[in-house]
Amino acid sequence: MASQGRPPTDDEQSTLASAALDEFTEGFHGEVLLPDDEEYETARHIWNGMIDKHPAVVAQCSGTADVVAAVRFAREHDLPLAVHGGGHNVSGHAVCDDGVMLDLSAMNGVYVDPDARRVRAQGGATLGDVDRETQLFGLATALGVVSETGIAGLTLNGGVGHLRREYGLSLDNLTSAEVVTADGSVLTASDSENPDLFWAIRGGGGNFGVVTSFEYELHAVGPEVFGLFVWFHGDDATAALEAFREYSADASRKGTVLPFYATVPELDEFPEEAWGEPVVALLGCYDGSAEDAEAEFEALRTVAEPVVDFSGEMAYTDLQSMLDEDYPDGLRYYWKSSYVTELTDDVVDLLVRYGEERLSPLSTVDIWHLGGAISDVEPEETAFYHRDAPFMVTFEANWEDPDADDENVQWAKNGLAELREMPVASGAYGNFPGFGEDPARTLFGDNYDRLVEIKREYDPENVFRLNQNVVPDAPTGDAR
């Protein structure tokens, strides 16, 4: 499989080398990079090393006015428009060939109001940016589990993190947003202003505009929490997953657990004799006293003799960044997901089998425990539809060798296809989308038709189409 992308065409570059481009550049306060510029190569690359696309223009925005200018320029010249927040979505939609790459990276300010328990963060901010500022006040909002992830894509597609069962998805904590729509308007989206747009951006991805700032509700979390991180030998994988299944039936909302099939890394923190061994690790968080956490996770930590157990009290920011080194820039990634209503024996057997058959030691098979506050919200209350499933299963293909693209992608596709043959599996998650092969209705379920109507209002020309696209001219009932 070739990298996702192609070189820019001479015709496109010559078309943009015009008075219109000069006018755009002169009125832009950030940086406008073209293929001949020295910084262009660095700017066009994103986190997933499989993505190798060549935009005609990289517009590095300094503020909302630059975003408006870039959106209008792309629309007026009928150019593809990619929006780069953190650039961590595996699908590679943050960059495009022969179009405009709208880069929000420099817009990463974070502003905390501790009295109101609110934080406003610009669209280029990462989880780490937000956590760093909010933890000064012992506060946090529900974000993801890798601190280098951008808040924008994470939130617009859902957002599952260590606080998900207690405080819901990232989008459930969103109180308002500033959105630049396809016609260049700057709108506030909230329950009281443009509520239809607010409904749509909470789960509808980047279909409706560029979100230049997010305002979230904050909660008293940290500065320390109890982190669960225990690793079991591969021979104990089934027993560990069965123990997790039993635990999940009565788990506290203060606790979250993410089991994953992995490989022991060659790091000094692990016993050298276990390096390279297949394992099942359980990663989690408990937002409460250490005593309560010990009781909460005891059965999970004692189901077998662990390879190593790193569990204990730790800084919340350390927990949030614990997985950062596992997902470096430039590694090759392909992730697919499905929701699961029950961890049947067949599901457990499949996950263990695909864990054993991983082609790369960096790949994982993950089970996200959902429910709790996520399922308190009815599916029609936001665009995020899949509220009732207690679990999400993810096949994460992560590898280094470009020559191994085909087999690693196929491993993830095969695992998901086999899982989806089971009656307990359905749907998909927008932040683990592969390359966006699934029909949009797979993500949006019965909310799809309403999303089409809102798309027609705010983006009738489908300017924002580089995403899990909601097509404005699709008839209702269309499964595209």
Mean pLDDT within 322-348: 97
Least-confidence region, from 171-185, 363-377, 466-480: 466-480
Dmax of the chain from CA atoms? 69
Strands (E), 181-221: 186-190, 210-217, 219-220
The predicted pLDDT at position 19 comes to 82
Mean pLDDT over 173-192 rounds to 98
Burial 431-447 (b: 16+ CB within 10 A, else e): bbbbbbebebbbbbbeb
Going from the C-alpha of 259 to that of each of 68, 237, 480, the distances in angstroms are: 42, 10, 33
Q: pLDDT for 385-444, tens place per residue?
A: 999 999 999 999 999 999 999 999 999 999 999 999 999 999 999 999 999 999 999 999
End-to-end Cα separation, the chain, in angstroms: 25
Euclidean distance between CA atoms 126 and 108, whole angstroms: 7
Q: What is the pLDDT of residue 89?
A: 87
The predicted structure's pLDDT at residue 478: 46
If you average pLDDT over residues 157-168, what whole number do you get? 98
Specify the pairing of strand 278-286 against strand 312-315.
Answer: unpaired
- The mean pLDDT value for 272-283 works out to 97
**The 3-state secondary structure of 381-436, one letter per residue:** CCCCCCCCCCEEEEEEEEECCHHHHHHHHHHHHHHHHHHHCCCCEECCCCCCECCC
pLDDT in tens, 199-258: 999 999 999 999 999 999 999 999 999 999 999 999 999 999 999 999 999 999 999 999
Please, which pLDDT band fits residue 20 given cuts at 50, 70 and 90? confident
Alpha-carbon gap, residue 161 to 168, rounded angstroms: 9
Average pLDDT (293-322) is: 97
- The pLDDT value recorded for residue 79 is 96
SS3 (DSSP) at 250: coil
Q: What is the mean pLDDT of residues 27-34?
A: 95
Length of the chain, in residues = 480
CA distance readout (Å), 460 to 153, 199, 465: 22, 18, 11
The CA distance from 382 to 385, in Å, is 7
Mean pLDDT of all residues belonging to the chain: 95
Residue 450 confidence (pLDDT) above 90: yes
CA atoms within 13 A on the CB side of 225: 24
Mean pLDDT value across residues 339-363: 98
Helices (H), 89-203: 127-134, 151-157, 164-167, 195-201
**C-alpha torsion sign, points 122, 128, 134, 140:** positive
Tell me if 431 sits within 8 A of 468, measured CB to CB.
no
* Residue with tokens 């490989």, as numbered in its chain: 263
Per-residue tokens: 78 = 């009928």
What average pLDDT does this structure show over 165-173? 98
Instruction: Give the contacts of 199 (CB within 8 A, at least 6 positions apart).
Output: 381, 382, 383, 450, 454
pLDDT band per the 50, 70, 90 thresholds, residue 7: low
Express each pLDDT in 87-142 by its tens digit: 998 999 999 999 999 999 999 999 999 999 999 999 999 999 999 999 999 999 99
pLDDT at residue 5 tops 80? no
Say what the pLDDT of residue 246 is: 98
Bridge partners for 230 per DSSP: 282, 309
Supply the pLDDT for residue 356: 97
pLDDT at 15: 52
Separation CA 154–CA 151 (nearest Å): 5
Residue 134 CA to residue 112 CA, distance in Å, equals: 6
Query: 299 and 247 in contact (C-beta within 8 Å)?
Result: yes
pLDDT of residue 473: 87
Q: What percent of the chain has pLDDT over 70?
A: 95
Say how far apart CA 60 and CA 105 lie, in whole Å.
7
- Within 8 A by CB and 6+ apart from 454, the residues are 196, 197, 199, 200, 204, 208
pLDDT for 2: 55
Predicted TM-score (pTM) above 0.85: yes
* Domains and their CATH numbers in the chain: 10-103 (3.30.43.10), 110-220 (3.30.465.10), 224-426 (3.40.462.20)
